Amino acid sequence: MKIGFGYDSHRFCENRPLVLAGVKIPFEKGLAGHSDADVLVHAICDALLGAMSEEDIGCHFPDTDPAYKDISSMILLEEVCSLVRKKGYTIGNIDSTMILESPRIRPYVQAMKNNLAR
């Protein structure tokens, strides 16, 4: 059994949607980043990459590559999951924690889980 740990943080900024696990959360600010800045998916990608002793998400999907500009992080997760399968691994469980004062995300948690389970 391999275990990975992922972590990510982005600052809030104006004029961007807030996306967590591929779900757009109504909020006055979004997260700054080259992609859609989905911190939850980025942390999960890093955990999976780390469990496989791969380089981190920034090495696999560099912010200097225009191909990843505003890309959905769910697409990045699909690519990481493809690598997981290619290397002969399976994912048994993912546990994640998000720490934020606002917005309240409880109403969106099931949609996030559904997106991540695909």
Average pLDDT, the chain: 97
Average pLDDT over residues 96-101: 92
Instruction: Kindly state whether residue 1 falls inside one of the protein's structural domains.
Output: no
Q: Please give the span between the terminal C-alpha atoms of the chain, in angstroms, as a whole number.
A: 22
Instruction: Kindly state whether residue 118 falls inside one of the protein's structural domains.
Output: no
pLDDT at 118: 85
Query: Taking 90 as the threshold, does the pLDDT of residue 63 lie above it?
Result: yes
Q: What sign does the CA torsion over 28, 74, 57, 110 have?
A: positive
pLDDT-derived band at 80, boundaries 50, 70, 90: very high
CATH of the domain at 83: 3.30.1330.50
pLDDT at 16: 97
Domain that holds residue 88: 12-112
- The answer to whether residues 84 and 2 touch, using CB atoms and an 8 Å cutoff, is no
Average pLDDT over residues 58-70: 97
Instruction: Kindly state whether residue 59 falls inside one of the protein's structural domains.
Output: yes
Record the pTM. Answer: 0.95
- Per the structure, how many domains does the chain have? 1
Instruction: Kindly state whether residue 2 falls inside one of the protein's structural domains.
Output: no
